């Protein structure tokens, strides 16, 4: 099966389940996300995004976490459910 | 031996603390409610007493942000041999919470786990096999519902047992045999260990989307979120006004008129209707009788202001704030306003100190600790002090200025909001550095627990009364002494150019500004006997709000910001207050039309916005 390319979390549509591939940038960001349970391999659902580059809210392990736009654009994910993914 | 409560943010550590110690602490449904170590004591089953410490929440022992750094470093400094850690865990998010648990276990510290929010987990269809988890981790585990108190007895038993060394050794040995010998495991190993544990002990029956789920989603979607925010803010505002006004009209005013007035009137006669003591206790008579607002006696205005004018609104505000906090709305508001707050150099969570500030600036100043950088704290503290009048001041302004019509209050609050916005923009452009990004957990909506809510309101009211009444009395006393000693005439003369020239106020208004260092409500009250016109009242209201925080807030800010930043911040406050007051005086005395004022404000705002944007881009 062909592996879908990783896209930044900000370009995922709200409501879509995705899997985290990696976090670009410094170690600091990755470890902050990690402490919240968002790490490579974690399945998350994007719940919402605010307009004008506002924060993205995701659901990870049943908890909702709001992530600033800059951070969210460095989280690379792959869509999980291909049938939603035209 | 001490008991330390440790866990992720917003898992109910303070609720457990309050159950164990019987001490009342503020409990809310948002991360970062507790920013200080709180200490209390409890009696163990063995009869000996033990100190309990409520540690601010952290996700990890390797701190990833400033707030956590403080928590962890204080934790390390405090932890002694023989202390017991109660690791409070959110059962609804077991997987994520276990990360901290594993870190604690790796350190070889005696841990007892309280699986808190147990009922909520069951409600959500999450089943946790406690026996199995206990076996795997090798430590005692107790399911609890700290809000209702379920499981706290069992937890207490476990703590008491563990305080006997032999048992601790037993658990320790058990743990070492179970968990990997190599205690310094890496992050990846920890997470895969957690994955294994979770598949063994937890199963989740997926439930249908409920109404609450939909409401949660709606409140963080752009359009529905904004609509909901407007509705919630409007309702909050209306409710505070309704309850506050109702209490004044139907309870406190009648009480003062029917009970207090005859007593103090009689006392006035006994005191001989004049003289030093009479003036101090009863004050001067206004058209032959006592005027609670203007007489300025300790037993008249000194009691009437805090109890009959301010308390009703403070009470009303804390009911509404308590509900918003416990429902879990504030973090969602933070998500909505994140963009706006970034323009002012902070992230969205800085809205929490702002909202708290409408009640009282003291807890608001304390809660600036949830912000990450010094820069962010500085901006937040400064614009909070300038632009957010506390409920005590609001109540007095409603009482004094509201009678001329709501539009005047709107002018004051509009001006303050404008200052808040513009100074935030300027500071964000002027200070080096940038605003840190938002990253926070958004708690689920919860139905407020009536008993917890009532306790919280009562606690805040008690703090208010303990703080307000002495300070108001002190303020009234201080003003009386200034009058009696004649210093006031001297001061009035010195400040006359500033007051009459710049602000268009009579020089006696300096007394209100002086009283404002003690308390803002007294300061507004001082304006009442001066016979000011409504225009002067508006100018004075703005200056009084913005020029300086009250003594209690100042002390907290000094501690949080340090002397150097506090001096800078105070300087900004003074410029803002007198600048805005002077401009407002200029505009109002020349009877410029409202539309031209609004247009020029918009133009000014746009200019500031563009200039600050350019400055920021140039620097990057």
Residue-wise pLDDT for A53-86, tens only, equals 889 999 998 889 999 998 999 999 999 875 444 3
**B46 pLDDT higher than 90:** no
Whether the CB-CB separation of B502 and B582 falls below 8 Å is answered with: yes
Q: B454-458 long-range CB contacts below 8 Å, 24 or more apart?
A: B455/B24, B456/B26, B456/B27, B456/B28, B456/B318, B456/B322, B456/B326, B457/B315, B457/B318, B457/B319, B457/B322
**B307 pLDDT higher than 50:** yes
Domain A7-81: top CATH class = mainly beta
| Nearest-CB residue to A57 (from B62, B339, B442) | B442
Shortest distance, CA B60 to any CA of chain A (angstroms)? 6
B339, A66: Cβ pair inside 8 Å? no
Tell me the average pLDDT of chain B.
88
**A11 pLDDT higher than 60:** yes
Rounded distance between C-alpha atoms, residue B460 and residue B317, angstroms: 11
Q: Which pLDDT value is given to residue B620?
A: 67
Sequence-distant (6+) residues with CB within 8 A of B360 are: B314, B390, B391, B392, B464
Q: Which pLDDT value is given to residue B30?
A: 82
pLDDT band at B167 (very low <50, low <70, confident <90, very high): very low
**B171 pLDDT higher than 70:** no
Interchain CB contact of A85 with B (< 8 Å): no
Instruction: Check the CA dihedral B509-B511-B514-B515 and report its sign.
Output: negative
Residue-wise pLDDT for B195-219, tens only, equals 899 999 998 887 677 888 889 989 9
Which three-class secondary structure state does DSSP give residue B275? Answer: coil
Rounded distance between C-alpha atoms, residue B97 and residue B494, angstroms: 62
A66, B191: Cβ pair inside 8 Å? no
Rounded distance between C-alpha atoms, residue B224 and residue B235, angstroms: 16
B437, A39: Cβ pair inside 8 Å? no
Interchain CB contact of A27 with B (< 8 Å): no
Selected residue with higher pLDDT from B417 and B31: B417
Chain A residue with Cα closest to B187:
A34
Q: Interface pTM (ipTM) of the complex?
A: 0.90
Interchain CB contact of A37 with B (< 8 Å): yes
Region A13-42: mean pLDDT is: 88
Residue-wise pLDDT for B81-117, tens only, equals 678 889 999 999 999 999 999 888 887 777 899 999 9
Region B275-284: mean pLDDT is: 86
Selected residue with higher pLDDT from A81 and B553: B553
Helix (H) or strand (E) holding B125: none
A66, B92: Cβ pair inside 8 Å? no
Shortest distance, CA A38 to any CA of chain B (angstroms)? 9
Shortest distance, CA A10 to any CA of chain B (angstroms)? 14
| Nearest-CB residue to B92 (from A32, A53, A62) | A62
Superfamily for the B2-204 domain: P-loop containing nucleotide triphosphate hydrolases (3.40.50.300)
A64, B439: Cβ pair inside 8 Å? no
Helix (H) or strand (E) holding A33: helix A27-35
**CATH 3.40.50.300 location in chain B:** 2-204
Best to test chain A binding among B30, B31, B95, B96 (most A CBs inside 10 Å): B96
A-to-B residue pairs, Cβ atoms closer than 8 angstroms: 106
Percentage of chain B beyond pLDDT 70 is 95
**A1 pLDDT higher than 80:** no
Q: Which two tokens stand for residue B87?
A: 């690791």
Q: Would you call A23 exposed, middle or buried from its count of C-beta atoms within 10 A (0-12, 13-18, 19+)? A: buried
Residue-wise pLDDT for B263-272, tens only, equals 999 998 888 8
Selected residue with higher pLDDT from A29 and B133: B133
Region B540-549: mean pLDDT is: 94
Q: Which pLDDT value is given to residue B7?
A: 93
Rounded distance between C-alpha atoms, residue B146 and residue B18, angstroms: 9
Q: Which pLDDT value is given to residue B447?
A: 92
A51, B222: Cβ pair inside 8 Å? yes
């Amino acid at each position: 099966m062909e592996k879908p390319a990783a896209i930044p979390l900000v370009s995922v549509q709200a409501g879509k389940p995705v899997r985290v591939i990696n976090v670009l940038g410094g170690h600091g960001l990755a470890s902050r996300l990690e402490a919240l349970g968002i790490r490579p391999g974690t399945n998350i659902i994007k719940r919402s995004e605010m307009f004008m580059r506002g924060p993205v809210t995701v659901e990870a392990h049943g908890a909702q976490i709001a992530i600033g736009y800059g951070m969210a654009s460095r989280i690379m994910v792959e869509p999980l459910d291909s049938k939603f993914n035209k | 031996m001490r008991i330390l409560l440790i866990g992720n943010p917003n898992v109910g550590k303070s609720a457990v603390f309050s159950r164990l110690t019987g001490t009342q602490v503020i409990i809310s449904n948002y991360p970062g409610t507790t920013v200080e170590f709180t200490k209390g004591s409890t009696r163990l089953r063995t009869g000996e007493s033990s100190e309990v410490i409520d540690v601010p929440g952290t996700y990890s022992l390797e701190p990833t942000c400033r707030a956590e750094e403080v928590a962890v470093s204080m934790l390390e400094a405090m932890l002694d041999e023989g202390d017991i850690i109660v690791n409070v865990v959110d059962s609804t998010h077991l997987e994520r919470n276990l990360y901290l648990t594993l870190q604690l276990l790796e350190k070889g510290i005696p841990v007892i786990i309280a699986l808190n929010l147990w009922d909520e987990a069951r409600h959500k269809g999450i089943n946790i096999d406690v026996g199995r988890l206990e076996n795997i981790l090798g430590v005692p585990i107790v399911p609890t519902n700290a809000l209702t108190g379920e499981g706290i007895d069992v937890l207490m038993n476990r703590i008491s047992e563990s305080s006997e060394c032999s048992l601790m050794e037993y658990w320790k040995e058990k743990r070492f045999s179970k968990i990997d010998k190599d205690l310094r495991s890496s992050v990846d190993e920890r997470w895969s260990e957690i994955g294994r544990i979770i598949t063994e002990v937890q199963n989740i029956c997926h439930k249908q989307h409920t109404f609450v789920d939909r409401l949660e989603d709606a409140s963080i979607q752009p359009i529905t979120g904004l609509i909901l925010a407007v509705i919630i803010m409007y309702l909050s505002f209306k409710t505070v006004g309704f309850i506050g006004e109702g209490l004044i009209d139907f309870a406190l005013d009648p009480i003062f008129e029917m009970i207090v007035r005859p007593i103090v009137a009689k006392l006035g006669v006994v005191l001989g209707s004049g003289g030093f003591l009479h003036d101090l206790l009863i004050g001067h008579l206004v058209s032959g009788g006592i005027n609670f607002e203007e007489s300025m006696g300790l037993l008249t205005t000194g009691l009437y202001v805090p109890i009959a004018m301010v308390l009703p609104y403070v009470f009303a505000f804390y009911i509404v704030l308590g509900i918003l906090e416990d429902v879990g709305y504030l973090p969602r508001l933070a998500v909505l306003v994140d963009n706006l707050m970034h323009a002012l150099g902070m992230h969205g969570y800085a809205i929490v100190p702002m909202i708290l500030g409408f009640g009282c600036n003291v807890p608001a100043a304390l809660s600036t600790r949830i912000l990450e950088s010094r820069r962010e704290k500085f901006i937040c503290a400064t614009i909070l002090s300038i632009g957010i009048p506390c409920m005590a001041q609001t109540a007095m302004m409603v009482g004094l200025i509201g009678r001329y019509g709501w539009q005047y209050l709107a002018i004051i609050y509009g001006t303050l909001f404008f200052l808040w916005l513009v100074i935030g923009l300027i500071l964000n452009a002027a200070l080096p550095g940038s605003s840190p990004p938002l990253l926070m957990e958004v708690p689920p909506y919860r139905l407020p627990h009536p008993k917890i809510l009532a306790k919280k309101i009562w606690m805040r009211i008690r703090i208010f009364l303990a703080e307000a009444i002495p300070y108001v009395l002190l303020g009234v006393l201080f003003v009386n002494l200034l009058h009696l000693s004649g210093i006031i005439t001297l001061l009035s003369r010195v400040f006359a150019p500033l007051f009459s020239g710049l602000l268009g106020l009579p020089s006696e208004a300096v007394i209100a500004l002086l009283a404002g260092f003690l308390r803002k409500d007294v300061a507004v009250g001082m304006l009442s006997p001066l016979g000011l016109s409504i225009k002067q009242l508006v100018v004075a209201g703005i200056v009084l709000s913005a020029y300086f925080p009250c003594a209690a807030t100042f002390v907290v800010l000094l501690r949080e910001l340090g002397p150097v930043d506090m001096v800078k911040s105070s300087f900004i406050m003074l410029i803002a207050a007198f600048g805005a007051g002077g401009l407002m005086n200029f505009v109002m005395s020349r009877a410029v039309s409202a539309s031209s004022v609004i247009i020029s404000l918009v133009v000014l705002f746009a200019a500031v916005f563009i200039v600050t944007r350019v400055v920021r881009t140039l620097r990057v």
